[in-house]
Amino acid sequence: MTLSSRQLINTALLAFLALLPFFTDWVGDSFYTGLVARILILAIAALSLNLLIGYGGMVSFGHAAFVGVGAYVVGIGTFHAFEDGVDWMMNGYIQLAFALLVSAVVALTIGAISLRTRGVYFIMITMAFSQMLYFSAVGVETYGADDGLSIYSRSDMLGLIDLNDEKSLYYLIFVSLLLVLFLMHRLIGSAFGNVIRGSKSNEARMRAIGFSPYKYRLTAFVIAGTIAGYAGFLMANLNDFVSPDMMHWTRSGDLIIMILLGGMASLFGPLYGALAFLMLEELLSSIPLTIGGLHVGEYWQLIFGPLLILVVLYARNGVDSFLPGARKGS
């Protein structure tokens, strides 16, 4: 089987990500391993949101809430294990199961209501639910309120995976990304994916041929929310910290920007977008330039904003537009 130029580029990127920890060990600088691990987690969350926005036309400004829910399951479990001696709450598999279950239930609840609306109303109601969860977390003093909650020990995977080892955690995240990419590839290429895409382009026609767009969209919403909850599980273990800020609607905005930068309705687009977003943030925030007593790096968004506008105007499908075999008009 001959790989296309696009597939070769994607494969080369994955190979680079697979070998990164060995390279950072060789140069003696593990900073970029942690940075790229964070990028990969955000790419997983962006991939799940791309299922809604890119393929389903459902622009959700509340997707980060599911990331926060998954993260708080880890944080709360660890808190009670240390404070109350409830040892089973440190079990990583129990934490993971609850993170997926709670994220799925929350997604089902929010989706069942939100998907009865369209357009700007859908955007606003998903944002409203996200802010409800955000302020709920802010108001719970037991779990740190707006100061957040420190995680004193990472999830105990019973010796199968040592999450306290940075390299082991990185490869868990990397393998998770591969599995999510595979899942998305299978979903989009299935009959289910065809209905989701068809509902985006012509909902009335899908109804006419016997499909119920609402049920398919709700299923996609729950799948996306559950995957985002898993990203939250990983993020909590990476950062050793959770806070309400993870659920804020602006974090959902960051995920949408990653999709725009990488390319909507593109399998690898969210990964490229997450890489571009975090690398630009790191680069722009470290600019050693002071103007009028102000450090330019502290206001990196002022530089990033115009760059994003240029991408939207001249590269309609982000990084994906520059890859071989890009869709015409992108």
DSSP3 helix / strand / coil % (the chain, rounded to 5): 75, 5, 20
Classified as helix, coil or strand, 45 is helix
In the numeric block, the tokens 């002071």 are attached to 290
Give the number of other Cβ atoms within 10 Å of residue 60's Cβ.
30
Which CATH class, in words, describes the domain spanning 5-25+32-322?
A: mainly alpha
Cα–Cα distance measured from residue 330 to residue 327, given in angstroms and rounded to the nearest whole number:
6
Cα–Cα distance measured from residue 175 to residue 3, given in angstroms and rounded to the nearest whole number:
22
DSSP H helices in 28-83: 31-50, 64-83
Cα–Cα distance measured from residue 1 to residue 327, given in angstroms and rounded to the nearest whole number:
23
CB 290 within 8 A of CB 296: yes
Give the number of other Cβ atoms within 10 Å of residue 258's Cβ.
28
Q: Which residues pair with 149 in a beta bridge?
A: 242
**What is the full per-residue pLDDT of the chain (330 aa) written as tens digits?**
567 888 899 999 999 999 999 998 888 878 889 999 999 999 999 999 999 999 999 999 999 999 999 999 999 999 999 999 889 999 999 999 999 999 999 999 999 999 999 899 999 999 999 999 999 999 999 999 999 999 999 999 988 899 999 999 999 999 999 999 999 999 999 999 999 999 998 888 999 998 999 999 999 999 999 999 999 999 999 999 999 999 999 999 999 999 999 999 899 999 999 999 999 998 888 877 677 666 767 778 888 888 888 888 888 788 888 888 766 444
**In sequence order, what are the residues at sequence separation of 6 or more whose Cβ sits closer than 8 angstroms to the Cβ of residue 240?**
150, 151, 152, 154
